[in-house]
Amino acid sequence: MRKTIALAFAAAALAGCGVIPGQQGAGGEERQPETAPATASEQAASEQADAAEATPAQSAPPQDAKVIATREASTGAGDQYGKARVDITALKRQGRTVSLNWTVTATDGKVNVHNGLGGGGLDFTVSGVSLIDPVNAKRYRVARNGTGENAECVCSGTQGQFLEPEEASTLYAVFAAPPADVTKINIEMPMFGVLTDVPIS
């Protein structure tokens, strides 16, 4: 009989805590009164409020990179003739390499970036660009990912890039770094000539 009373007492205690299914208790469970389903407009307003809370505030758009050197030139190849501007936006030393970033913007006519910056007619890269160290009389060509005949440049591909006025193409190339005491260098660029005394950061 004591066991029966103990079991009944335990069952009542568990029911009071909400452990036994179907029993309401004080075990942290809170019953909400049932409400009528929300209308379509109420659901839409709720979804918009949820979306507004989930979307972080947008910051201002990124600023354009600072131009450290620029040059304009008339360009032409095949039947593509025009004028373009090159803006050097970064020449940064990183360990034993230097990364060059620039933008070519067509200002008039049609500008052939397709193969205009490569090392030949079928070179659709910017591998024709080089750095010239006038102090040490040394030329640095674009880095390659190997030494064989099929080694590719560590640089932008340009295939299919024929720029109309106000169109731009952002490009890059990686080079071996000049000695640490070289703080300015010349950049030789097909179609544009030589940009002199470009600072290395």
Per-residue pLDDT of 81-99, as tens digits, reads 899 999 999 999 999 999 9
Residue 54 domain-assigned? no
| Choice among 17-26, 36-45, 87-96, 110-119 with the minimum mean pLDDT | 17-26
**pLDDT surpassing 90 at residue 27:** no
Q: Which residues pair with 189 in a beta bridge?
A: 193
Residue 184 domain-assigned? yes
Percentage of the chain beyond pLDDT 70 is 67
Q: How many CB atoms lie within 10 A of CB 74?
A: 13
Count of domains for the chain: 1
Residue 103 domain-assigned? yes
**pLDDT surpassing 90 at residue 76:** no
Residue 96 domain-assigned? yes
Which 3-state string (H, E, C) describes 77-114?
Answer: ECCEEEEEEEEEEEEEEECCEEEEEEEEEEEEECEECC
d(Cα 82, Cα 180) in Å, to the nearest integer?
38
**pLDDT surpassing 70 at residue 74:** yes
| pLDDT tens per residue, range 122-145 | 889 999 999 999 999 999 999 999
Task: Tell me the residue ranges of DSSP E strands in 25-79.
Answer: 69-77
Residue 16 domain-assigned? no
* C-alpha 178, offset from chain centre: 27
Q: CATH no. for residue 124?
A: 2.60.40
DSSP annotation of 120 reads S
Residue 108 domain-assigned? yes
- In one-letter notation, the amino acid at residue 122 is L
User: Could you tell me if residue 193 is left (phi over 0), alpha (psi between -120 and 50 degrees) or otherwise beta?
Assistant: left
Range of the domain at 146: 69-199
> Residue 22: its pLDDT value, please?
45
Residue 48: pLDDT band with limits 50, 70, 90: very low
Residue 151 domain-assigned? yes
Residue with tokens 């106000």: 166
Residue 9: pLDDT band with limits 50, 70, 90: very low
**pLDDT surpassing 90 at residue 43:** no
Which residues, at least 6 apart from 176, have a Cβ–Cβ distance to it below 8 Å? 96, 97, 98, 140, 143
CA 66, 71, 77, 79 dihedral sign is positive
d(Cα 55, Cα 163) in Å, to the nearest integer?
36
Residue 155 domain-assigned? yes
**pLDDT surpassing 70 at residue 42:** no
